[in-house]
Homo-oligomer: A and B are copies of this chain.
């Protein structure tokens, strides 16, 4: 549907029929509008965004691609931007504000609604990647002794401000969180029921400083739609909704995949090439030095290679298989850590497993390689050198591929940073050293 829409909107834009665009586009769901604007040519993005009514502007802005949004925000008049921010949910408005340049923030703050401004200022204090950074302050809280009709009245008054209510938070007189009340229960009880009589059995909430990955794990574990956020003294501060958690999960998955190959999260398909170059250069420079290190290990055996040049022909096999085998282990372990499957108790078992897998696969693949080398070169000793060094290197692959991310986790460094460049450096060194080393002893 979007592709047709984009085509149609483009035609209208090109023939300057913007009032028709205004009419058509405002009828669509914000999710569709964002998709359309994301895919319009750059020169039409701002002008199309400006055709949106205020509700749609508020809903769409947060959903746009980072570079598209940045573009639009920097071109909007500050008065317009302020009124869009007033209309947004507090968590999303905060995200936008934190992306703005300081000059624009200054201009905007005195144009914002007082109450919204104080909420945003509050939220800006929290680290973006914590529960506080994810929560919205729009939350319906009722007293533990509130009766059914009082609660319904509160919901009625708040329903224009709070989207997707579904649950009401029950608090005591000090605003300390007691439990969640599923709104639907209000339909099914008599009017004498109090909030405290209707709360859910399991009382689940999250501290405002908890890391977002841990917050996502709570949603996974308890299948929640809404998670109340509290401070150290159990006071209710806000709530996190499951749709924001989906964004977190996507982000964390991208991040893990990215870190493993040394990419930064902001380096996307359509990031400006020069910006991508800049982001990738440090890692590639590091890679140049690991490659030089590998090369210097090979250099130790230059004399051997000078005598037996076919060693240079075969040595990439040992290194290549070790590298790929090590990356497999690294991926299994890193993913296990990300999904919370790997705990302190079972780590040793996991490392032992990966080493066994490396050894067995090394033995099987090594034997095959040995056979092939023997058939091709007719030299049984050469075959043996190739086979044995492959077993060694795939043992190394299993060991470093599992040990390094586990060590990093223990040191509280993100295990996904145990990127492939370190693992392949080690398996390259392992491969070249074992193959050329054995060859120097047995073949020269």
Q: CB within 8 Å of B: which residues of A?
A: 3, 29, 31-32, 34-35, 39, 65, 152, 155-156, 159, 164-166, 183-184, 186-188, 202, 204, 219-225, 242-243, 245-247, 249-250, 253-254, 256-258, 260-263, 267-270, 273-274, 276-277, 280-281, 283-285, 287-288, 290-292, 294-296, 298-299, 302-303, 305-306, 309-317, 319-321, 323-325, 327-328, 331-333, 335-336, 339, 341-343, 345-346, 349-350, 353, 356-357, 360-361, 364-365, 368-369, 372, 420-421, 424, 428, 432
Contact = CB atoms under 8 A, between A and B. Distances in A.
B361 A277 contact: yes
A335 B155 CA distance: 41
Nearest to A334: B257
Contact of A246 (B249, B292, B312, B345): B249
Is chain A's interface secondary structure helix, strand, loop, or mixed overall?
A: helix
Given A280-B361, A316-B291, A361-B284, A331 B257 contact: yes
Contacts of A432: 316
A206 to B, nearest CB: 13
Contact of A261 (B166, B250, B327): B327
Given A281-B361, A332-B269, A254 B184 contact: no
Given A159-B184, A250-B249, A254-B339, A29 B277 contact: no
6 contacts: A29-B204, A152-B187, A155-B187, A269-B332, A285-B365, A298-B316
B361 A288 contact: no
A235 B438 CA distance: 70
A309 B305 contact: yes
Contacts of A349: 270
A324 to B, nearest CB: 5
A294 B317 CA distance: 8
Given A225-B242, A291-B320, A188 B298 contact: no
Contacts of A35: 221
A327 B420 contact: yes
B339 A317 contact: no
Contacts of A159: 184, 188
Pairs of residues from A and B, 3 with the lowest C-beta to C-beta distance, nearest first:
A312-B312, A253-B253, A269-B336
Contacts of A368: 285, 288
B316 A294 contact: yes
Contacts of A356: 273
A368 B250 CA distance: 36
A37 to B, nearest CB: 13
A219 to B, nearest CB: 7
Given A262-B324, A285-B368, A303-B309, 17 more contacts: A29-B202, A29-B204, A159-B188, A166-B166, A166-B225, A220-B246, A249-B249, A253-B257, A256-B257, A270-B346, A273-B353, A280-B325, A280-B357, A280-B361, A281-B361, A294-B320, A295-B314
